[in-house]
Amino acid sequence: MSRVSAVSFSHFLPSLLLLLAGLSAAYIKDLSVFFTSLFNVLPTLVLLLGGSYCAVYRRQRELFLMITVYIAYFLLDTQTDFYRDHGRVREDAAVVFHLCCLLLPLLFSIYALWQEKTHLFRDFVARGAVLLAIGSVALALEQSFPVAVLNWLAEIRWPVLHGAWMSLIQLSYPMFLIGFLTLAAQYWYQPRPLHAAQLVGLLGLFWMLPQTFILPFTLNIMCSQVMLMIAAGVAHEAYQMAFRDELTGLPGRRALNERMQRLGRNYVLAMSDVDHFKRFNDTHGHDVGDQVLRLVASKLSKVNGGGRAYRYGGEEFAVVFAGKTVEECLPHLEEIRVIIADYAIKLRNLDRPQDDHQGRQRRAGSGASSVSVTISIGVAERQAEQRTPEEVLKSADQALYAAKGAGRNCVVAAGQTRRGAVRESAAG
């Protein structure tokens, strides 16, 4: 799977919805007593529930992300409460606010980029030590040298880059920019729902900080939303692990079982199998075998006619057509069979070249070879005497065996036979 194709809007959707909900709630001027009370306890409630969820599933990176956001919330909330109660800010408000604006994106980015380690206890201690060290330094500076620290933080170091719209200290802007770029690179190389949540969460924090003393409950709402984004990213990945096949990206066996319970009365099920896959795997190696499975999965995922492809297991795939007849589905399955059979997979020689130029020359010449794989497909339509989708799937499986017996590389509906062929070639 290419990195570009792996970028999925579905990774960002939950976090974007939470961000939009937070923005909408923050701009509501008149809040009822219920929502006022809710927003006061929401960050703590989200941390307890979301943090417990991450702790139970040993997701330490996400746990420390939530803790970092909550510490910033607690420090700033103390300042905003004083401001609302007395109509003025505390003497240390500027120092605390500026330190949060500088350290929040720093710590958030560190923990977002810090991958989980195998040894959980050591990983937990290391993360806690970083948080303790940075927090202790910040506390010491805030207590000992408030005026000097404030002047150092508020200094405009790059007048050319400073704009009138900037409402944060200048140092926080490059910190947010570096964090955003590194998190974007992390998502580019490892597209995961959690990495998408981290990106959107950093944007939410960037919007929140300038509004902390301006819009009521902005701090409570956005910190809660960012922590919810992290928890939602963990839940999204847990769902993918349970219902989506990691190698091919298709929905897996469990997702197929759930889908079959909601098919209704009229549907078609197809079972497909890569021809001679074991022999192909033994000949060319497991890496090429995995490449073949990803190729077949990518083609099956684009089947027309309303079909939805699933990885059934091993080299077997299932395709579900809801509300269709077998006559309507056969042309679309035949089209996919032909596309896969005509696709040539390029193979490299075992003696790999030492540089890219030599590799391009070999691939353009006789050093490169190609193979084509084929699939056999069995199709079954739900009949009146079949009470469950499992019975229809069994009929499709029997049709698949008939396709194998008919010569492979063909589509066979239940009760039919048709001969096909397997092709394998080397490009000269």
Return the active site residues.
315
* Cα 74 to Cα 77: distance, rounded to the nearest angstrom: 5
- In Å, what is the CA distance from 148 to each residue of 79, 94, 103, 154, 177? 20, 12, 17, 10, 26
Sign of CA dihedral 189, 190, 193, 195: negative
Helix-, strand-, coil-residue percentages of the chain, each rounded to 5: 65, 10, 30
* Cα 86 to Cα 36: distance, rounded to the nearest angstrom: 19
249-255 long-range contacts, CB within 8 A, separation 24+? 249/1, 249/294, 249/297, 249/301, 250/297, 250/300, 250/301, 250/309, 250/310, 250/311, 250/317, 251/308, 251/309, 251/310, 251/311, 252/310, 252/311, 253/310, 253/311, 253/312, 253/313, 255/310
SS3 377: strand
